[in-house]
Structure 1
Amino acid sequence: MQEALAVTEEAVAILRRPGGSADAETPDPNPGPPDPVLLAAALTNVGLWLNGLGQRSDGLTASEEAAAIRRRLGTESDASRAQRLHNHGSLLLDVGRLADSLAATEQAVAVRRQLTAANPAAHAHDLADSLADLGNSLAAMGRREESQAASEEAVTLYRSLAEANPTAFQPRLANALSSLAGDLAALGRLEEAALTGEEAVAIWRRLVATDPLAHEPRLATSLSNLAMWRTRTRRLAEAVEVGEEGVAIHRRLCETNPAAYAFRLADSLSTLGLALSGAGRKEEAVTAMQGSVAIYVRWSGRWRGVCRGGRR
């Protein structure tokens, strides 16, 4: 990802120059003004790479410059405009600009609804993506009933898409189910949250069987979430079972990449501690909680000020 960013930033630097071309080996002998369409595309990619590397503020800056260029040109297709709004909304959410993120994502949803109405086969998956992001933005603002509605619509679309193309859309369906379960739990609908979380876990298990490296992190988080909802519905033995499984996966992931997974391990240990306590296994609960606190203390300096965008 770092190499891709460097290449794309070099392309941006070239495209900013008069007569700029992504092909540095064949400079134009009669340079004209920079090509704004290519520059906007390159800036968009820079923004996405920076965000993926955790440089969210810089990523947003690049994205905003690309958006300004495209607005000035006024030549975007509806599909391109929707994609730009969708990407921009995600970046805004990651830096905590919740109202701005919501506004951009709502616009993306509106455009993609129109596109999907005209050509469902071409655009339904894009609408589902934007609805999932809309649910995330609304959840971050505490607007859980609206978030639940967006998440349910995304689940419905992804379910249909996954039936036709499971390889492409089962991971997105599982993510949307996890988000919907979080919405239901926040609204006090705990039994529904647990059932929805169970469906997400079942999908992640199937995916892990074919590609553990890609999908184990999401399985571990979904197991921990399910443990929490089962604890709250007093299904304590089942909560402990999935909680222990989530901790075991997070512990293994943390051994190879502690910077990425220590926080998740601490979270899952805390959740397991609550389940064990509810089940009357007090000594084990204390051990789990102490393990969670130890990780928080050890990593607190590195986590301070880090934005935890999105949902668990």
Structure 2
Amino acid sequence: MRLRSTALLSTLAVTGIALVGCSGEPAPESSPSASAAGDLCGAAVGSGAASEAVTVEGEPGEASTATFEKPLEITELQSTVVAEGEGEPIEAGQLIEYAMSAYDATTGEELGVIGYEEGQLLPQQITPESVFAQILGCATVGTRVVSTFPASQGQDGSEVPGQVYVFDLTGVTPSAAWGDPQEPVEGEPTVGLADDGEPTITLPDAEAPSETQVSELKVGDGDTVESGDQVLVQYTGVKWSDGSVFDSSWVNGAPTAFVTNQVVPGFTKALEGQTVGSQVLVTMPPADGYGSSEGHELQDETLTFVVDILATQHPAPAQ
């Protein structure tokens, strides 16, 4: 694993991929017809002199080395397929798994490598409007591309030099928990699942528990969620007082990500120590929910959630 710092990890994983959005020469936008049809193929940018000038050594799915004549002149976002994968083509709305390495286009310096080890990057939802679609299009899983980003202006107004990225499309994450089903715990809320995995929660005719209860509905085979991880989850939450749904990522249209120790204590207890691919049922009294949030509409509510753990990203190691 070659990471320079927490700041670099953040840049590569989050803001680095968005450089095209603030570059001096904007990336081409997807056509309305392509977006309406969910056409990732039509969203892809073309290959060009800059991206074709990069030589990549190493096998797709493993950390690579990129070389090019320096400085590399980059005037627009370009993307060249250097190895085509043998998997299925990706589709709009899927959660894609990826890994990447980045280089300074002026000096050739390696800026960082990330995603080739478990727990380094969260998957990202790809849509025709996303930068990932411009880079990958409707590539097949296992594909490797070289993308060249022109110089841009950072959020602090500083000049960000042009960059070269090697992207590996390593997989697709399911949008619902895929672990082995477990026997439900007698007396706890019951859960039914729609074809797409969206849960329906039925509460028992009983008093709300006075302490947080956590049980596994499915046990996944993925990485273990650790304290301080950023997790990607699907969830549905209901109020014990009347059984009504008050929040749901399924209704909101996409999974959500958050840090395990930056949420209410009941969520922390439900997630830390679980494995990716698991589905967890948690019922939390106000003390582990929003009881300390004076004036919050859920301050006095006991809450029940069904949470599907789709991925986890461990904090970057200290440098």
Q: TM-score, normalised by structure 1?
A: 0.22
Structure number with the bigger relative contact order (C-alpha 8 A, sep ≥ 6) is 2
TM-score, normalising length from structure 2? 0.22
More helix by share: 1
